Amino acid sequence: MELGGSLAVPNVQELAWSSKDVPARYVRPELELDRVSKDESVRVPVIDMSKLVGGCDDEDELAKLHSASRDWGFFQVINHGVPDKVILKMKADIQEFFSRPLQEKMECAQLPSDIQGYGQAFVVSVEQKLDWGDMLYILAQPQDVRNMRFWPRVPSSFRATLIQYSIELEKLKGILLSSMARNLGLEPEKLLTLFEEGVQGVRMNYYPPCKQASKVIGISPHTDVVGLTLLTQVNEVQGLQIKKDGKWIPVDPVPGAFIVNVGDVIEIMSNGEYKSIEHRVVVNPEKERLSIAAFHNSNRNAVIGPLPDILSKEQKKRAPNYKSISYQEFLKLGQKATLEGKEKGLAHHLKIETEAAQ
């Protein structure tokens, strides 16, 4: 699976320990102009998954999921069925990995042609501004995409832990897609088959503290070029923010919940009914932050475009709002957008402009 590589850059964790001043490549003057919401009553919706499994299909909870996917593009899920022991073990192992000496972590370092491994993602030029964070990125599912060269050997339990964690998240992905399909007026299998055997990439993030936190960014604003993302926060330090109504809204994680966001693929397949929302990560001045994001792609034979059943829903012919392309073309478009430094997501690039908009 070709996802493109990333240029080697300094390790931010080491930089944070050794440098008093923030190097110029990390300083973002534009952050001073950003509007961040201070209204604590504005919160990402919370969905109770226990009301959507086992034949429950609670209509009120389905409606909440539908409005969250449509109006927010982000929501949190509780009672999701992923065993606590699996989540806690994954958190413990990734904390152990990031606490190891740099030389040990570099055994899993990225190669020039591959985004997988330990390093930073999407660094494509020597002039590019850099994010204040390190990552370990691994393709976990299906089995045939795994490259064990990038899987840590320390802690010794890491590989088994990640495999079990990824399997549990695949199950949760299926439940979410089934519920979304029903809300979109589709038979669940119509959506599930498009994501069957789809690639799951797991990005484990480490954001060191920064005394000049207001000048740096943990992850630059972006949308996710996938179907669904499931994120868990490893420690209790906030950082994720989403863009809504022109403001950045901090996400306050519910203990034990997964934060879910709609990716570009689902926005396109739903013909824009569900939204892939811009988001970013800010840095704490005193505390490190760790998180684990699992990205779920459609399968490699899928066509990325509005689903025919949605365009003809309720026997009403609807015009497609997005172009349709193959999965491989979609990946190439994503690489091209990265190389050109385009910030807007692929849903935006595939959107069909109407005559009125032109």
d(CA 338, CA 355): 28
d(CA 239, CA 105): 24
Q: What is the dihedral of CA 205, 211, 216, 219, to 10 degrees?
A: 10
8 Å CB contact between 204 and 94: yes
- For 134, other C-beta atoms within 10 Å of its C-beta total 24
Res 91: pLDDT: 98
**Tens-binned pLDDT, residue by residue, of the chain (358 aa):** 455 667 788 899 999 988 888 999 999 999 988 999 988 888 999 999 999 987 677 999 999 999 999 999 999 999 999 999 999 999 999 999 999 999 999 999 999 888 899 999 888 888 889 999 999 999 999 999 999 999 999 999 999 999 999 999 999 999 999 999 999 999 999 999 999 999 999 999 999 999 999 999 999 999 999 999 999 999 989 999 999 999 999 999 999 999 999 999 999 999 999 999 999 999 999 999 999 999 999 999 999 999 999 998 755 778 999 999 999 999 888 777 766 555 567 888 898 875 433 3
Q: How is residue 341 annotated by DSSP?
A: T
d(CA 153, CA 156): 5
CA distances to 291, 320, 325 from 354, rounded to whole Å, are 40, 10, 19
Res 357: pLDDT: 37
Res 190: pLDDT: 92
CA distances to 156, 164, 351 from 358, rounded to whole Å, are 57, 49, 12
What is the residue type of 317?
Answer: K
Res 339: pLDDT: 60
8 Å CB contact between 12 and 208: yes
8 Å CB contact between 132 and 216: yes
Res 96: pLDDT: 98
Res 156: pLDDT: 97
Overall residue count recorded for the chain in this entry: 358
8 Å CB contact between 86 and 164: yes
d(CA 215, CA 282): 10
How far is Cα of residue 75 from the mean position of the Cα atoms in its chain? 13
Res 165: pLDDT: 98
Res 358: pLDDT: 32
Q: Is the preceding peptide bond at 142 cis, omega within 30 degrees of 0?
A: yes
d(CA 179, CA 44): 19
Residue in 104, 112, 90 with CA at minimum distance from that of residue 152:
104
Q: Would you say the pTM of this structure is higher than 0.85?
A: yes
d(CA 218, CA 280): 7
